[in-house]
Each structure stands twice: as structure tokens, then as C-alpha cells.
Chain A
Amino acid sequence: MKLLSYILLLTFGILLIYAANKLPTRGHPDNPINRDTSLAGTPAASAHYIRNAEKEMHTPNVVTTILADYRGYDTLGETTVIFCAGIVVFLILRRQRDGSKV
């Protein structure tokens, strides 16, 4: 059984390496993630961010603009995840007694 799991793990690794060989070569400007438009002709996000971030929100750090504005809703979710972790630890480890504040 343990041997089977190891084989499964190795197979998984080989599958991933097979996939990694087919990935676009790292660092070229014409990789799909770096292009100006996608294959379907829709605008690609990253190039738009780099071109317009400074103009649209007076903020040179592109990562900040994406984090807080272009994809701001993700960051709301991210902050909620942290808040959620806080509440969850509160739920697991604290008891609220009658009459007393926590």
C-alpha cells in the first residue's frame, strides 16, 4: 500500500514534468501572459496594467495598483481570509463565559 502511494506520487511528478516541458519558455516577451492581446483578440491584463497604471491612478508601483484597485476585490477576499483565520482561532481556542467579556 505504501509502495503504491510512492508510485502514485512519482507518477504525479512525472506528469507535472511532462506538462512543464510544454510550458512556454520562461522570460520571453511574447509569451501569452506577456503579450498585449490574447489569442482571441481580447486585451491581455498585464500589459494593460503596466501601460496605464501610472496614468490612471498616479501610483508608480504597479503591484499596488493591481492589488488595491484593478483586482481590489481579490484583496478584499484576502483580508477576509485573514480575518476569517482570526475568528476561526477565536472559535476553536476561546470560551466566552457568562457575564464576562471575552
Chain B
Amino acid sequence: MTDFFIGHIAYYFIIALLIIGLWGMLFKKNLVKKLIGMNILQSSIIIFYVASASKYNATVPVIDPRLGAINPAHYINPLPHTLMLTAIVVSVATTGVALALLIVIYKRYKTLNEDELLERMK
């Protein structure tokens, strides 16, 4: 039971983060807040992958050949880490593009609030 708890409790927090991020994206009126929500959403997924890759009694995936025979059980699974490096890059790229859009939107409508934006677009 405790084993199950320790093994799964991290996922609950990650899902909480994910829901917070979605909430920010969907219900916050300010566009910058939406972007912050987007960042939280993406990083929660990154945390999900990295947390799922962790392993008991294992070390970082940098191999020292002098230690003798290599046993995969002694090293943390490196594949999710690699995937998440890509995901981090994607998230910063998306943020950059979104900020450029925000500047254009502010230039055209002089507001970042969604309600006012809808008002001024008519």
C-alpha cells in the first residue's frame, strides 16, 4: 500500500498542475495569463515524463566504464529525459511565437484583456 502510494502520489500532483495550467488557459481573461497557463501545462507534462522515468537505487545516466559490467537497473531511464529536452525546446519556441503575436495584438487593439478585445474587434 505505501509502496503504491509513494509510487503514484507524484502523478496526482502533476495532474493538479496540469489542471491548473488548463484552468489558466481557458478561464483567465488576460492573454499573458493564458500564456503562463500554457507554460504550466507544458511543464507539467515534462514533469510527468521525467517523474515516470525515475528509478529506486539508481544513478544519473552517465556511465563510468571503470565500474565494471553495466546493469541497466543501476541507471535511470534516459529516454524520457531526451524526449523532454525536445519538449522544453518546443515550449520555449511556442512561447516566443505567442509573445510576438501578443505584441501585434496590443499594437492593433491596445489591450490584452479578452473581453475588451472582443469589444474592440466589432
Contacts and interface: CB of A to CB of B under 8 A. Distances in A.
B22 interface: yes
Contact of A46 (B10, B23, B77): B77
Interface of B is mostly: helix
Interface in A70-86: 71, 74-75, 77-78, 81-82, 84-86
Majority SS at the chain A contact face: helix
Interface string B4-33: 101110111001101100110011000000
A7 interface: no
Contacts of A36: 72
Interface size class of B (residues with CB under 8 A): 35 or more
Nearest to A77: B86
Interface of B: 3-4, 6-8, 10-12, 15-16, 18-19, 22-23, 26-27, 51-56, 61-65, 70, 72-73, 75, 77-83, 85-86, 89-90, 92-94, 96-97, 100-101, 103-104
17 contacts: A13-B18, A20-B8, A20-B11, A25-B7, A33-B52, A45-B79, A46-B72, A49-B79, A50-B72, A62-B75, A63-B78, A63-B85, A67-B85, A85-B93, A85-B97, A89-B97, A93-B104
Q: What are the 5 closest A-B residue pairs judged by CB atoms, nearest first?
A: A25-B7, A85-B93, A20-B11, A29-B73, A62-B61
